[in-house]
């Protein structure tokens, strides 16, 4: 007789698959954009590359793991029931840094790390305090992203000061690594 795994393990694995898909899409998009940039193709190709990378990878993942993605949707619906103040705080943590890119475009790569870090960390804290859910994979993504900001800034100002495109590539790669580590943790963790 097969032993059925608890729903918490299935949910965590589903988020592991989702986070690994995000990591793969970010990494493939980043590498393709670097290739496009180094070969002087039109910038309009960037949009196509991002849509294609995320579209293809998510189409494969959602087709292959359709039943698992229902667990992701179910957990994401938890935030709909949050009090308005929690929704505002979480929304600000996710959107605030991305909106700041418009004010200081030269810090684009840091605001991306900040948005991913604050967004995942705030979602982790709110899910833990309001829903009593321990989404450690979001804690991992948030922590790695926030810790990566000084690392990226140090590398940008010392090694890549003349190449802002490399600084952006590094930022995207660090986010891909954060989602990859969290995805591996979530997929193989049973606690």
- Reported residue count of the chain is 191
Residue 91 neighbours by CB distance under 10 Å:
13
- State pLDDT tens for residues 123-156: 999 999 999 988 999 999 999 999 999 988 888 7
Decide if 173 contacts 33 (C-beta within 8 A): no
The angle at the Cα of 175, spanning 171 to 179, to the nearest 5 degrees, equals 170
CA distances for 72 relative to 85, 87, 144, angstroms = 23, 18, 22
Q: Give the span between the Cα atoms of 44 and 162, in whole angstroms.
A: 23
Q: Give the span between the Cα atoms of 132 and 81, in whole angstroms.
A: 13
- State pLDDT tens for residues 171-189: 899 999 999 999 999 999 8
How much is the pTM?
0.88
Q: Give the span between the Cα atoms of 176 and 93, in whole angstroms.
A: 19
Show me where the domains of the chain are located: 7-188
- State pLDDT tens for residues 67-90: 888 888 888 888 888 999 999 999
């Amino acid at each position: 007789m097969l032993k059925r795994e608890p729903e918490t393990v299935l949910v965590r694995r589903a988020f592991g698959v989702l986070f690994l898909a995000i990591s793969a899409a970010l990494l493939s998009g980043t590498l393709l954009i670097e290739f496009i940039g180094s070969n002087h193709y039109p910038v309009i190709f960037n949009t196509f590359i991002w849509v294609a990378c995320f579209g293809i990878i998510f189409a494969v993942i959602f087709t292959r793991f359709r039943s698992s993605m229902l667990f992701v949707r179910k957990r994401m619906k938890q935030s709909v029931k949050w009090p308005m103040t929690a929704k505002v705080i979480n929304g600000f943590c996710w959107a605030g840094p991305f909106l700041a890119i418009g004010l200081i475009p030269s810090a684009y790569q840091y605001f991306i790390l900040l948005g991913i870090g604050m967004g995942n960390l705030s979602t982790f804290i709110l899910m833990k305090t309001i829903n009593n859910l321990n989404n450690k994979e979001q804690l991992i993504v948030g922590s790695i992203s926030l810790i990566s900001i000084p690392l990226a800034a140090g590398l940008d100002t010392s090694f890549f000061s003349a190449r802002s495109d490399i600084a952006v590539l590094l930022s995207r790669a660090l986010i891909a690594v954060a989602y990859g580590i969290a995805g591996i943790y979530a997929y193989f963790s049973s606690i």
